[in-house]
């Protein structure tokens, strides 16, 4: 098998990046823009020792789960890897993905698996969007999203995953740039002013935030832009974010308020949150309520427990837990997030939640060794890489009755669960939750119980 060979493939699975997987001559090939069940004619693009990459040239037989993507740029854009797959098939794939990783990596059998919790509709669910700004080949200023694995902007003013108001916001900002001849940022040269347009919408409150990321200190004619933006119903916060570094990091550290207030508010369930431009906040609040509800259910709180919430962010899970627990302690490495968590606790009149700044892998072991802290329940919601080994080891030594693990990567989840279940815990409940429709990502909530309880 060599480059440019034409092969026929039956797509049997999807990779973690959303590439179709088929086999030819005993070799696995990864093929973009295919759906499980497709039979395709493909051209070999790259060969490795044990696998290869191919490009779909023709769909010989479409999968019964293949649909026409509603978004006209779904194929070019890197955001929706599986929009060509029916939503019921997406949920089936995500359920199987979690099961497969827990069985293959974790070594689990007879999984206590609950059905994946899907969305009412897998569109218009994102409350936050970040649009890079640049120039198209014809010289026009465009905003949209990066094509997969590139920094080439695919022009898209109305992403179907985001709020409808985003299109009007982008149109207003781009018109302002054209009128006042404001240059978009050029990554190659480091010149130009406007880098990104970030929007946030409070789905429950209707409040809107616009944050313009600039490669400079000020925005020309910003008063005129503000006047145009505040015409949009719900506009609450308009800020500049200063990022003059030559970096792929979107947001800088300095904020300048142009109009309104520096934050918006939103609610998940009956808990209210204050969200600033740099705050971490779940992008799908409707599904987040279901996710946290499941985590709270698995925690089994009676009102007498001390709970430690590791990787707590702005306290979203912590404040849900605090309403049912005696005491909650949250740990998060980002100082601004802890500041927001404390503010959110005050906003909701919650006085039994305490928050600590630092790495979970440092704070928890240190407090256990020096202060002999204890926990009845530990909740962890780590980044994609999973929990650090020192966190897992300290959790085992603290021996809480229950552990609730919220994961955005079922592969690292399986690895960590294998360790916890080899050291005194039993896997009691597992539930995937679809937070990111039309992508391959899936959240999972797991309930563990100490075997000697």
Report the b/e string of 216-249 with b at 16+ CB within 10 A: beebeebeebbeebeeeeebbbbbbbbbeeeeee
User: Degrees (nearest 5) of the Cα angle 441, 445, 450?
Assistant: 145
Q: Is 71 a catalytic residue?
A: no
> CA nearest 352: which of 377, 328, 387?
328
Please identify which residue in the block is written with the tokens 């933006």: 229
Measured CA to CA, the distance from residue 203 to residue 135 in angstroms comes to: 31
Distances (CA, A) of 46 to 49, 51, 76, 116: 10, 9, 20, 35
Provide the 3-class DSSP secondary structure of residue 376.
Answer: coil
Provide the 3-class DSSP secondary structure of residue 10.
Answer: strand
Q: 196: which DSSP letter? A: E
Measured CA to CA, the distance from residue 239 to residue 241 in angstroms comes to: 7
DSSP bridge partners of 53: 30, 46
Helices (H), 381-434: 389-398, 410-421
Measured CA to CA, the distance from residue 337 to residue 339 in angstroms comes to: 5
The catalytic residue among 77, 156, 408, 421 is 408
Active site residues: 408
């Amino acid at each position: 098998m060599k480059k440019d060979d034409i092969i026929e493939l039956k797509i049997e699975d999807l990779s973690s990046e959303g590439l179709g997987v088929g086999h030819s001559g005993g070799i696995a090939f990864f093929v973009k823009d295919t759906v499980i069940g497709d039979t395709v004619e493909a051209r070999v693009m790259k060969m490795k020792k044990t696998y290869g990459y191919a490009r779909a040239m023709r769909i010989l037989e479409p999968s019964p789960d293949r649909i026409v993507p509603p978004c006209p740029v779904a194929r070019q854009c890197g955001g929706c890897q599986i929009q060509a797959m029916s939503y019921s098939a997406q949920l089936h794939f995500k359920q199987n993905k979690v099961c497969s990783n827990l069985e293959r990596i974790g070594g689990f059998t007879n999984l206590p698996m609950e059905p994946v919790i899907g969305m009412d509709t897998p569109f218009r669910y994102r409350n936050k969007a970040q649009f890079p700004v640049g120039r198209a080949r014809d010289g026009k200023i465009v905003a949209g999203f990066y094509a997969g694995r590139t920094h080439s902007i695919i022009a898209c003013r109305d992403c179907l995953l985001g709020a409808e108001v985003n299109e009007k916001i982008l149109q207003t900002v781009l018109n302002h740039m054209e009128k006042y001849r404001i240059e978009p940022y050029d990554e190659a040269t480091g010149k130009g002013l406007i880098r990104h347009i970030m929007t946030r919408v409070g789905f429950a409150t209707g409040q809107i935030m616009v944050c313009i990321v600039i490669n400079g200190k000020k925005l020309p004619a910003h008063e005129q832009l503000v006047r145009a933006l505040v015409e949009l119903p719900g506009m609450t916060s308009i800020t500049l974010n200063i990022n003059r570094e030559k970096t792929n990091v979107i947001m800088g550290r300095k904020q300048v308020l142009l109009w309104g207030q520096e934050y918006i508010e939103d609610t998940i369930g009956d808990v209210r949150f204050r969200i600033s431009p740099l705050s971490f906040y779940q992008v799908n609040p409707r599904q987040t309520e279901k996710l946290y509800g499941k985590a709270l259910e698995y925690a089994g709180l009676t009102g007498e427990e001390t709970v430690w919430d590791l990787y707590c962010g702005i306290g979203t899970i912590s404040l849900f837990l605090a309403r049912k627990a005696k005491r909650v302690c949250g740990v998060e490495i980002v100082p601004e997030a802890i500041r927001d968590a404390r503010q959110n606790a005050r906003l909701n009149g919650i006085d039994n939640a305490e928050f600590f700044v630092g790495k979970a892998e440092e704070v928890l072991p240190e407090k256990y060794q020096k202060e002999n802290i204890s926990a009845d329940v530990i909740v962890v919601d780590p980044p994609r890489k999973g929990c650090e080994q020192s966190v897992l080891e300290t959790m085992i030594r603290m021996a809480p009755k229950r552990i609730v693990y919220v994961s955005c990567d079922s592969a690292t989840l399986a690895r960590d669960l294998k360790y916890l279940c080899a050291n005194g815990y039993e896997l009691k409940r597992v539930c995937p939750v679809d937070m990111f429709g039309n992508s391959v990502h899936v959240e999972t909530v797991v309930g563990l119980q100490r075997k000697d309880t």
